[in-house]
């Protein structure tokens, strides 16, 4: 049987997640719980109902068709598990409902991916797998990326770097670029933030370097969590030392990703509280200062401003 994966979105024309114009395939399910996650619908591997109350016209058609009773006269009953039938989404006349999670085969996804083949060729772009955590569906991801490679499409994966080593070894032969998160260099602080240490992250990164994979390190920057001088310089020095020791040019650069609130509205649509109370973002002036600071290192470090 053809492998299937559970995805929750396919986004075209991205320019921030690898080289050129790219199609992003978002896989559902993640092993970490980042407070600043901009895709909260990706965290659970289960089907979920996203409900935009501002769009709802109270027609109650969803109540009539839902086979498990999630939709009620008083709203969404979050205690009931969605089975992903999508009947409510189909009858919603105002677009207030969207089911997060869809089983798709490699062939089905390739039909969508190939629609923009000319853009990939013209821009040096391709396909990036994101999430959630794409490496949790490593066999499916490898099959999809292998099919992309057979069609001469550039491939990339965004990963938090913390899953089983085997996942990265499976994916490495089919991946042109790993966008690899280094969220905190200190394992104690990492455990405070995510419940696990960062030993697996370092192990997996070092193994990918051994395999001569192309890697761009991604450092999310969240005020009060990982933006101290020691945290920033410690991470940069670790990456620079690893790049120097390997000597194979595997690590291409470091991308610093400042905090943003673009995913905040999704939490309300999932019935969740947004976990960050204050806004730990950065002003343009602060980002300019960071640019100057990163310029003092003998390594390519970019502040990515969306």
183 is in an annotated binding site: yes
Instruction: State the pTM of this model.
Output: 0.95
Residues 6 or more apart from 186 whose CB is under 8 A from it? 198, 230, 231, 234
Residue of 96, 46, 104, 101 whose CA lies nearest to 75: 96
Q: What is the structure's pLDDT at 279?
A: 87
- The pLDDT tens digits for 218-232 are 999 999 999 999 999
DSSP letter at 82 equals P
Task: Give me the pLDDT at residue 278, please.
Answer: 86
pLDDT at 98 over 90: yes
- How much of the chain exceeds pLDDT 70, in percent? 100
Closest to 154 measured CA to CA, from 179, 180, 136, 132: 179
Report how far apart the first and last C-alpha atoms of the chain are (Å, whole number): 40
* 85 assigned ligand-binding residue: no
Residue 111: per-residue pLDDT: 98
Domain 48-100 = CATH 3.40.50.20 = no
Q: Establish whether 88 is an annotated binding residue.
A: no
Would you state the pLDDT for residue 305?
A: 86
Known binder of ligand: residue 38?
A: yes
* DSSP assignment letter at 266: H
Q: Do 179 and 257 contact (CB within 8 A), yes or no?
A: no
Query: Taking all residues of the chain, what is their mean pLDDT, rounded to a whole number?
Result: 96
123 is in an annotated binding site: no
Domains 4-44+102-303 and 48-100 share a fold: no
CATH code at 4-44+102-303: 3.20.20.70
pLDDT tens, position by position, 236-247: 999 999 999 999
**Which are the contacts of 7, defined by CB distance < 8 A and separation ≥ 6?**
25, 26, 27, 28, 101, 102, 104, 109
Reported residue count of the chain is 306
Q: Residue 277: is its pLDDT beyond 90?
A: no
On whether 17 is known to bind a ligand per the annotation, the reply is no
Q: How far is CA 134 from CA 144, 234, 265, in A?
A: 11, 27, 23
Phi then psi for residue 268, to 5 deg, are: -65, -40
CB half-sphere exposure, 282, CA atoms < 13 A: 22
How far is the CA of 44 from the CAs of 8, 16, 48, 101, 131, in angstroms?
A: 11, 24, 8, 10, 10
Domain residue spans of the chain = 4-44+102-303, 48-100
Residue 106 has a pLDDT of: 98
Could you give the CA distance from residue 143 to residue 57 in angstroms, rounded to a whole number?
42
Averaged pLDDT, 259-269:
94
56 annotated as ligand-binding: yes
Residue 34 among known ligand-binding residues? yes
Contact (Cβ atoms closer than 8 angstroms) between residue 254 and residue 301: yes
Name the phi and psi angles at 141, rounded to 5.
Answer: -60, -40
pLDDT computed for residue 68 by the predictor = 97
pLDDT attached to residue 269: 97
β-strand partners of 14: 22
> Is 62 assigned to a binding site?
yes
**What percent of the chain lies above the pLDDT cut of 90?**
94
Q: Is there a binding annotation on residue 30? A: yes
Is residue 306's pLDDT more than 80?
no
The annotation status of 272 as a binding-site residue, yes or no, is no
Determine if residue 5 is labeled as part of a ligand binding site: no
The answer for residues whose C-beta is within 8 angstroms of residue 33's C-beta and 6 or more apart is: 43, 194, 195
Q: Are 130 and 27 in contact (CB under 8 A)?
A: yes
Q: What is the pLDDT of residue 215?
A: 98
């Amino acid at each position: 049987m053809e492998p299937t994966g559970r995805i929750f979105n396919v986004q075209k024309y991205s320019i921030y997640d690898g080289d050129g114009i790219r199609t992003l395939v978002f896989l559902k399910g993640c092993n970490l719980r980042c407070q600043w996650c901009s895709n909260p619908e990706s965290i659970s591997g289960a089907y979920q109902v996203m409900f935009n109350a501002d769009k709802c016209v109270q027609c109650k058609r969803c109540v009539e068709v839902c086979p498990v009773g999630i939709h009620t006269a008083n709203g969404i009953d979050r205690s009931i598990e969605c089975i992903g039938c999508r009947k409510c989404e189909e009858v919603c006349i105002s677009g207030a409902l969207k089911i997060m999670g869809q089983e798709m085969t490699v062939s089905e996804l390739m039909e969508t991916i190939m629609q923009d083949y000319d853009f990939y060729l013209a821009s040096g772009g391709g396909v990036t797998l994101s999430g959630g955590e794409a490496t949790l569906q490593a066999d499916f991801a490898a099959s999809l990326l292998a099919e992309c490679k057979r069609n001469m499409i550039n491939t990339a994966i965004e990963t938090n770097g913390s899953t089983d080593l085997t996942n990265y070894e499976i994916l490495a032969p089919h991946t042109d670029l790993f966008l690899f998160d280094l969220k905190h260099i200190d394992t104690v602080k990492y455990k405070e933030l995510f419940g696990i240490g960062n030993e697996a992250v370092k192990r997996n990164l070092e193994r990918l370097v051994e395999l001569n994979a192309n890697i761009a390190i991604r450092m999310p920057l969240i005020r009060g969590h990982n933006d101290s001088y020691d945290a920033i310089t410690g991470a940069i020095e670790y990456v620079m030392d690893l790049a120097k020791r390997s000597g194979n040019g595997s690590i291409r650069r470091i991308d610093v990703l400042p905090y943003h609130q673009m995913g905040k509205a999704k939490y309300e649509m999932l019935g969740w509280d947004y976990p960050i109370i204050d806004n730990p973002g950065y002003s343009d002036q602060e980002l300019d200062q960071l640019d100057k600071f990163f310029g003092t290192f003998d390594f390519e470090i970019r502040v990515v401003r969306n």
